[in-house]
Amino acid sequence: MKFIDEAKIYVKAGDGGNGAATFRREKYIPMGGPNGGDGGRGGSIYVIADRNINTLVDYRYTRKFIGKRGENGGGADQYGAGGDDIILRMPVGTVIYNLNTEEILADLSEHDQKILIAKGGKGGLGNLHFKSSTNRAPRQKTNGDQGEEFELRLELRVLADVGLLGLPNAGKSTLIRAISSARPKVADYPFTTLHPNLGVVRVDDEKSFVVADVPGLIEGAADGAGLGIRFLKHLQRTRILLHLVDIAPIDPDANPVRDAKAIVGELIKHDPELANKPRWLVLNKLDLIPEEDREKAIKDFLKAYKKATKYDGPFFPIAAINGEGTKPLIYAIHAALEQMARPEVDDSEAKEEA
């Protein structure tokens, strides 16, 4: 199924029913008094996160959701029935924006998370509420309130622990195939990845983490070139970014240091907050370098790259095509993720406990 990660919909909660202005009419009771009931509440619209759904494709074809109106009140103290609520099930990771204001109305980050997105109108009051010692035959009533309505923009951000970043053909899809059971398309031409792919990496029988592969970035991506910038939102929930670099490009005019620096620049230009996430350097396609020349090639690249970008993070030389070097990378990622998951302990509190 094609990955659908954006949609626009219109939601309108049900209006409240109108109150009734009626009077009791029974034999031998000439002045029965008011007995008009209230109108029913309009149906509200809720969204709920469902981990069994992985795309927004349902909202590409059905775009209007209108709640049922509450029933009007009736005589004999009859209250109108409330309208049925509408439940919209969406993938975990969906962010819901007010299309007109760009305000975030909901962020569905956990399974079964339920959020009211449009509240149904309150039912009107019947004349029963307006009787008093001085107004024994009130004819006042109120109409029901209108339900809330919004034009919404739905944006799905995949949930992953680790995100892969790099130029097209840097080997991101090959890496995710090597370390997980995901099978994205791999070919010898750019932009083989056209939508995000998720892979579950098993560290052992009980421990795992999720990796997201998105279309490759190119220079000028922040200004609209290529595909990757559109999918960078999927990396915003990740905790670690792996910047894959083709250390042995086939093109003799290619400059891995310049290209890697350009990717970092595009990332900063697009989203400084995303650029500040922990970013590890992964030097891929080690298999294309003669074994006796690898150490020098890695050393030369790191020296030039650190000088150009002030990078001081970890680096991992690998050959994704045959899995060489991927085990140390997997174990290092898992250890870092576990460290991030541990609650921070205040040093002063620790000293007091000691």
Residue 2 has pLDDT above 80, yes or no: no
Which tokens in the block code for residue 70? 């509450």
Q: What is the DSSP string of 126-137?
A: PGGGG--SS-SS
Please name which of 59, 162, 195, 50 lies closest in space to residue 108, comparing C-alpha atoms: 50
Write down the pLDDT at residue 234. 65
What CATH fold (topology level) applies to the domain 6-156? Answer: Spo0b-associated Gtp-binding Protein; Chain: A, (2.70.210)
**Torsion (CA) 283, 288, 292, 296 in degrees, nearest 10:** -40
Question: What is the average pLDDT score of the chain?
Answer: 83
Radius of gyration of the CA atoms of the chain, in A: 30
Superfamily of domain 162-341: P-loop containing nucleotide triphosphate hydrolases (3.40.50.300)
Contacts of 153 (CB under 8 A, 6+ apart): 6, 7, 8, 96, 97, 98, 99
CA dist., res. 124 & res. 16, Å (int) = 7
- pLDDT (tens digit per residue) in 248-305: 888 888 888 988 888 888 788 777 888 888 999 999 999 999 999 999 999 999 999 9
Domain residue ranges in the chain: 6-156, 162-341
Output the pLDDT for position 313.
87
What tens digit of pLDDT does each residue of 162-205 get?
888 888 778 888 888 888 876 654 544 344 444 567 788 888 87
